[in-house]
């Protein structure tokens, strides 16, 4: 029979159906948090030793058992399943089973409320670190493509109608800059959530001089989350921030995926996807479908829905409420889906092929009308007059020379002056900041 840490010896029996409802998929989700929970428990144990609640041998024994548990969980010898109410109880039960009374001391001065908060916080930091790095890799791949094909002409569209000549360099550099922003956003959220809620117990602190600062720095946190009640009230809020950071990357990915699915149609035929990113049709032998790109486009919905689900839960009074348990499924699902999708994007971008001839053919003479109007305006003709004249002369515009037009487009950031070095510099600076941040926290 399942045992509960809070159940008194000989107390009233629990109702299995009700317990099942309470726990839900909690214990399975806690597998994601378990290694972080174990780490935080070891830090809590050392903290208890520093204030004299545990003596050295007790502390050593518990830390050693926690290391064993981490290894056993890692190798699959310890399975976190529905024998336990949740991961937190599993840790305490394991320690008590192995070390008796010493194990029974581990929960001194803490509650499952700050225990789940700290485990989730460490998990958030871990996933945000991954988000930062994958955004960096995508930005680097887009930038390399932009540099390599900087001057390759490509039509520029507005309203999906031919507008002005553009280039692969401009198109790809846009995504390099976007994913650099996404990296920066993830890093800023990482910085914000980098605070330890451990040692706040149920949300009101305890009558022990807990070494909260020491425990926080042992766990690699940048600072303390000072107020015990806010440690609980921020649950869900920080999860939404992390999901939103992931969502912005997913929205940029959705736009890129849209472009890819459009530009690889026979009608456009500008791009060729790497073979491993296409699939065949079960009935039509002629097809190579862009299923991967389509699923990358669709994936943003999972992350957006996860953020919305948590938002919907957070209509709560102050303090811990069991409602907060339901922040875990969307958090884990939403971040997991985003990270899985983003991880395959660098290879996709690296392997993109360009059909330069088709892109050049799609740049029609009318697309040079803006150039013509602006050339005249630069010579002193009022722009509105030059615009009207160019419109009349649209039919008679000379045979276009995309390369010359691109070279003349010298407004900073445009095809004639892409400023790729500036985009690269910012990417490098953000990557360095990311490295320092992750160094600090491990």
- Report the catalytic residues: 159, 281
* Torsion sign over Cα 207, 22, 338, 73: positive
**Least distance in Å: CB of 322 to ligand ARG?**
6
> Which residues make beta-bridge pairs with 154?
166
> Which residues make beta-bridge pairs with 234?
none
**Least distance in Å: CB of 18 to ligand ARG?**
14
Q: For residues 425 and 427, give the distance between their C-alpha atoms in angstroms, rounded to a whole number.
A: 5
**Least distance in Å: CB of 88 to ligand ARG?**
6
Does residue 26 interact with ligand ARG by CB under 6 A? yes
Q: For residues 337 and 290, give the distance between their C-alpha atoms in angstroms, rounded to a whole number.
A: 19
Q: For residues 59 and 44, give the distance between their C-alpha atoms in angstroms, rounded to a whole number.
A: 10
Residue 158-197 contact track with ligand ARG, rule CB under 6 A, x = bound: ----------------------------------------
Which of residues 26 and 58 has its CB atom nearest to ligand ARG in the complex? 26
Asked whether the beta carbons of 145 and 54 are under 8 A apart, the reply is no
Q: For residues 250 and 49, give the distance between their C-alpha atoms in angstroms, rounded to a whole number.
A: 45
Which range of residues in 70-78, 181-189, 323-331, 414-422 is near ligand ARG by CB under 6 A? Answer: 323-331
Asked whether the beta carbons of 233 and 314 are under 8 A apart, the reply is no
Which of residues 229 and 344 has its CB atom nearest to ligand ARG in the complex? 229
Q: For residues 2 and 24, give the distance between their C-alpha atoms in angstroms, rounded to a whole number.
A: 14
Residue count, binding to ligand ARG (CB under 6 A): 10
Q: For residues 438 and 126, give the distance between their C-alpha atoms in angstroms, rounded to a whole number.
A: 9
Does residue 121 interact with ligand ARG by CB under 6 A? no
Does residue 114 interact with ligand ARG by CB under 6 A? no
**Least distance in Å: CB of 112 to ligand ARG?**
4
Does residue 113 interact with ligand ARG by CB under 6 A? yes
Instruction: Indicate the residue whose CB is closest to ligand ARG.
Output: 325
Given candidates 86, 92, 177, 218, which one binds ligand ARG under the rule CB under 6 A?
Answer: 86
Structure tokens at 72: 């056993």
State the residues that interact with ligand ARG by CB under 6 A.
26, 86, 112-113, 116, 320, 322, 324-325, 328
């Amino acid at each position: 029979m399942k045992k509960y840490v809070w159940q008194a010896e000989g107390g009233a029996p629990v109702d299995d159906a009700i317990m099942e409802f309470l726990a839900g998929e909690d214990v399975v989700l806690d597998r994601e948090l378990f290694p972080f929970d174990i780490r935080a428990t070891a830090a809590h144990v050392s903290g208890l030793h520093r204030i004299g609640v545990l003596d050295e041998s007790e502390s050593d024994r518990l830390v050693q058992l926690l290391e064993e548990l981490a290894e056993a969980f890692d190798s699959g010898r310890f399975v976190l399943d529905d024998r336990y109410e949740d991961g937190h109880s599993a840790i305490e039960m394991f320690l008590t089973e192995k070390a008796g009374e010493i194990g029974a001391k581990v929960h001194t001065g803490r509650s499952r409320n700050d225990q789940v908060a700290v485990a989730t916080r460490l998990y958030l930091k871990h996933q945000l670190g991954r988000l930062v790095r994958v955004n960096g890799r995508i930005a680097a791949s887009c930038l390399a493509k932009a540099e390599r094909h900087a001057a390759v002409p490509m039509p520029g569209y507005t309203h999906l109608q031919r507008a002005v000549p553009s280039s692969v360099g401009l198109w790809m550099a846009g995504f390099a800059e976007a994913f650099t922003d996404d990296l920066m956003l993830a890093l800023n959220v990482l910085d914000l959530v980098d605070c330890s809620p451990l040692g706040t117990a149920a949300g009101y602190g305890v009558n022990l001089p807990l070494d909260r600062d020491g425990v926080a720095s042992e766990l690699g946190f940048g600072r303390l989350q000072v107020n015990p009640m806010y440690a609980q009230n921020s649950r869900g809020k920080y999860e939404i921030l992390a999901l939103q950071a992931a969502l912005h990357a997913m929205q940029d990915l959705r736009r890129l995926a849209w472009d890819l699915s459009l530009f690889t149609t026979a009608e456009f035929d500008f791009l060729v996807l790497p073979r491993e990113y296409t699939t065949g049709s079960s009935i039509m032998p002629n097809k190579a479908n862009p299923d991967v790109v389509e699923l990358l486009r669709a994936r943003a919905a999972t992350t957006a829905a996860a953020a919305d689900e948590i938002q919907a839960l957070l209509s709560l009074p102050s303090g811990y409420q069991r409602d907060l348990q339901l922040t875990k499924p969307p958090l884990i699902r939403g971040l997991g889906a985003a990270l899985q999708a983003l991880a395959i994007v660098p290879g996709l971008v690296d392997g993109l092929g360009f059909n330069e001839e088709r892109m050049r053919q799609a740049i029609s003479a009318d697309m040079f009308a803006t150039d013509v109007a602006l050339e005249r305006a630069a010579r002193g003709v009022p722009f509105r007059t030059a615009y009207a004249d160019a419109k009349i002369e649209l039919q008679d515009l000379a045979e276009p020379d995309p390369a010359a037009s691109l070279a003349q487009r010298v407004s900073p950031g445009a095809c004639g002056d892409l400023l790729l070095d500036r985009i690269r510099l910012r990417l490098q600076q953000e990557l360095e900041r990311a490295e320092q941040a992750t160094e600090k926290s491990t």
